[in-house]
């Protein structure tokens, strides 16, 4: 059984009765929507055409919100409805990024995600969803797509129906008849100079759409839409940044120890591990702070959804933390471990550090609503960024304690330069890293970074975070000006922060509904 809708736009008059009925039936808060009507206009005065598009959850066959949820708060029911269990939701907003259709929102009163659930309380009693009941033109037709005799199945067979973002591979179960393509494809519209009955959007989304308007991508304008907020901001940038340092401190420290080929494994590695452990604690604090229901964080540990990389990543962090604690305690052990134990433990910790660094790339690949974050190879780029962050932070720390010019510092400088070169190569190749079937949408976001409203930040991240640090390290080692190395580390960290913040913000800049 697969319940879904056919929305017949040969009948729709854009009256918003479905939106009002949905809000009344389900207690949807002011400013949030489970179904809404988008208005677009094409042409110039006096020849202007207005079209409507009724948008909502698509009750996807392969629902990405179910996959990405770390605590199994979302579920695909036997009747095909995708629903949220408010008692389990932790308000992480992962499902909202997983959805390519903008179908979920956070109820600020409860701190939990909500969405269209096909009026399941009515469906279970044999009643139609409220939106279908009140539609004055019977433009909203609910039914079972797995029943060949149902009205929706017959309409699918008899008419040329379309769906939203089929390239995302979600298998949407809301189909449209005679809808204007611009209404269901946000890439075909520009931002209007003024919305009717609502305020214009603000922030990065406006800058992105105005840039695209200057490129004259489309002659169709969005003139009414519901408000959208940037879901992830500084806390997520901080999480990415702190996790890079936490993972990279051990990776870079271990690499520098191998380059030095000395026997002082215990104290030095304990120091690198302490830096990693400190930033792991910061990473965890930022993750919990970004939850709308932080008191429920423990649910990730006790009822994890093993298909979600947010849940898997939590356990990777726990294991990596335990290994770092062993390294911190090692200098205080009454018996010094053998070289075999050191190397075995070291390489095992490196593996966990690399996994801690890169799992976010696999998590972002599950965020099908944010095509930039889905870029191929991002997991490998995150490992390179970890080496940058770890070596740079240790260089700053060594500079603070007054060990400038030491052998450790010189080898860390070499690790930093190599990792910065690899980091730069990843950045230069990201235009060709589009996820399958999302190339056009991905290219639009890349242009925002290289040519559009994020281009200055992008340039600053390269100059401050790559060019200057490489130059300073080279000068310090050729001229013996070792005081420049902590400065190079600090600049690399600044540039990395800008790059990560740009990545987070640009990924959310273009509308997806």
- Stretch among 64-68, 287-291, 334-338, 489-493 having the lowest mean pLDDT: 334-338
What is the residue-averaged pLDDT of the chain?
Answer: 93
Among 189, 221, 247, where does a domain finish? 189
Task: Find the mean pLDDT for residues 27-56.
Answer: 94
Helix ranges, 124-227 (H): 130-134, 151-158, 181-184, 204-214
Structural domain contains residue 26? yes
Tell me, yes or no, whether 131 and 263 share the same domain: no
What CATH number is associated with residue 35? 3.30.70.20
Residue 263: the pLDDT is 58
* Confidence tier at 164 by pLDDT (50, 70, 90): very high
Same domain, 275 and 144: no
Residues 99, 18, single domain; the answer is yes
Note whether 248 and 180 are same-domain residues: no
Query: Quick one: 247 and 152 in the same domain?
Result: no
Classify residue 205: in a domain, yes or no. no
Q: How far is CA 366 from the centre of its chain?
A: 8
Is 384 in the same domain as 442?
A: yes
Strands 35-44 and 47-56: antiparallel
Q: Considering only CA atoms, which of 341, 401, 370 is closest in space to residue 507? A: 370
Number of domains in the chain: 2
Query: Residue 438: helix, strand or coil by DSSP?
Result: coil
Instruction: Please name which of 402, 334, 358, 370 lies closest in space to residue 68, comparing C-alpha atoms.
Output: 370
268 has a pLDDT exceeding 80:
no
Q: Are residues 107 and 252 in the same domain?
A: no
Last residue of a domain, one of 158, 189, 220: 189
Q: 155, 189, 223: which is the final residue of a domain?
A: 189
219 in any annotated domain: no
- Contact (CB, 8 A) for 65 and 104: yes
Q: What does the pLDDT look like over 42-100, one tens digit per residue?
A: 988 889 999 999 999 999 999 999 999 999 999 999 999 999 999 999 999 999 999 99
- Claim to verify: residue 52 and residue 120 sit in the same structural domain: yes
Query: Does residue 33 fall inside a structural domain?
Result: yes
Is 201 a member of any domain?
no
198 assigned to some structural domain: no
On whether residue 208 sits in a domain, the answer given is no
Domain that holds residue 114: 3-189
How confident is the model over 440-457, as pLDDT tens digits? Answer: 999 999 999 999 999 999
Whether residues 139 and 238 share a domain: the answer is: no
Q: What is the DSSP string of 22-36?
A: HHHHHTPPTT--SEE
What is the four-CA torsion angle of 432, 436, 441, 445, rounded to 10 degrees? -40
Asked if residue 361 is part of any domain, the answer here is: yes
Q: Are 271 and 365 contained in the same domain? A: yes
322: pLDDT confidence band, cut at 50, 70 and 90? very high
User: Strands 82-84, 74-76: parallel, antiparallel or unpaired by DSSP?
Assistant: antiparallel
pLDDT for the residue numbered 264: 60
Q: Which CATH number does the domain housing residue 418 bear? A: 1.20.1630.10
| Pair (500, 362) in one structural domain | yes
Check if the beta carbon of residue 115 is closer than 8 Å to that of residue 104. Answer: yes
Residue 494's Cβ-count burial label (10 Å; 0-12, 13-18, 19+) is: middle
pLDDT at 333: 83
Q: Are residues 64 and 184 in the same domain?
A: yes
């Amino acid at each position: 059984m697969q319940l879904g809708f056919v929305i017949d736009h040969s009948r729709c008059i854009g009256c918003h009765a479905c939106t009002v009925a949905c809000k009344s039936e389900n207690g949807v808060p002011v400013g949030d929507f489970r179904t809404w009507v988008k208005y677009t206009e094409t042409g110039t005065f006096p020849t202007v055409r207005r079209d409507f598009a009724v948008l909502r959850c698509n009750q996807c066959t392969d629902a990405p919100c179910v996959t990405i949820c770390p605590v199994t708060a979302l579920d695909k029911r036997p009747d095909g409805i995708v629903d949220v269990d408010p008692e389990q939701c932790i308000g992480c907003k992962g499902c909202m990024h997983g959805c390519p259709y903008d179908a979920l929102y956070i109820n600020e009163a409860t701190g939990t995600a909500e969405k269209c659930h096909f009026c399941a309380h009515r469906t279970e009693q044999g009643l139609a969803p409220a939106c279908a009941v009140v539609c004055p033109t019977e433009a909203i037709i609910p039914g079972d797509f797995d029943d060949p005799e149902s009205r929706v199945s017959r309409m699918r067979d008899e008419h040329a129906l379309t769906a939203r973002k089929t390239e995302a591979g979600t298998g949407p179960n809301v189909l449209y008849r005679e809808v204007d393509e611009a209404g269901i494809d946000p890439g075909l519209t520009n931002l209007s100079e003024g919305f009717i009955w609502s305020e214009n959007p603000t922030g990065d989304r406006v800058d992105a759409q105005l840039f695209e308007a200057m490129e004259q991508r489309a002659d169709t304008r969005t003139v009414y839409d519901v408000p959208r907020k940037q879901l992830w901001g500084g806390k997520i940038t901080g999480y990415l940044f702190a996790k890079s340092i936490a993972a990279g401190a051990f990776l870079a420290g271990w690499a520098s120890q191998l380059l030095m080929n000395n026997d002082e494994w215990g104290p030095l590695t304990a120091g690198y591990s302490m830096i990693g452990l400190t930033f792991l604690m910061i990473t965890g604090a930022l993750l919990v702070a970004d939850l709308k229901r932080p008191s429920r964080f423990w649910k990730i540990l006790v009822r994890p959804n093993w298909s979600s990389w947010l849940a898997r990543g939590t356990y990777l962090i726990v294991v990596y933390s335990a290994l770092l604690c062993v390294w911190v305690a090692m200098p205080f052990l009454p018996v010094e471990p053998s070289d075999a134990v050191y190397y075995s433990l070291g390489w095992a910790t490196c593996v966990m550090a690399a996994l801690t660094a890169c799992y976010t790339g696999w998590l972002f690949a599950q965020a099908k609503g944010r095509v930039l974050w889905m870029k191929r190879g991002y997991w490998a780029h995150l490992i390179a960024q970890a080496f940058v962050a770890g070596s740079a932070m240790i260089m700053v720390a060594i500079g603070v304690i007054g060990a400038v010019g030491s052998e450790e510092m010189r080898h860390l400088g070499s690790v930093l330069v190599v990792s910065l070169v690899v980091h730069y190569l990843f950045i230069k190749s990201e235009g060709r890293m589009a996820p399958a079937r999302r190339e056009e949408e991905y290219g639009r976001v890349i242009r925002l970074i290289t040519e559009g409203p994020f281009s200055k930040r992008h340039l600053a991240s390269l100059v401050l975070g790559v060019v200057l640090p490489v130059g300073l390290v080279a000068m310090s080692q050729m001229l013996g000006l070792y005081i420049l190395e902590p400065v190079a580390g600090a600049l690399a960290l600044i540039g990395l922060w800008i790059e990560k913040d740009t990545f987070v913000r640009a990924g959310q800049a273009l509308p997806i509904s």
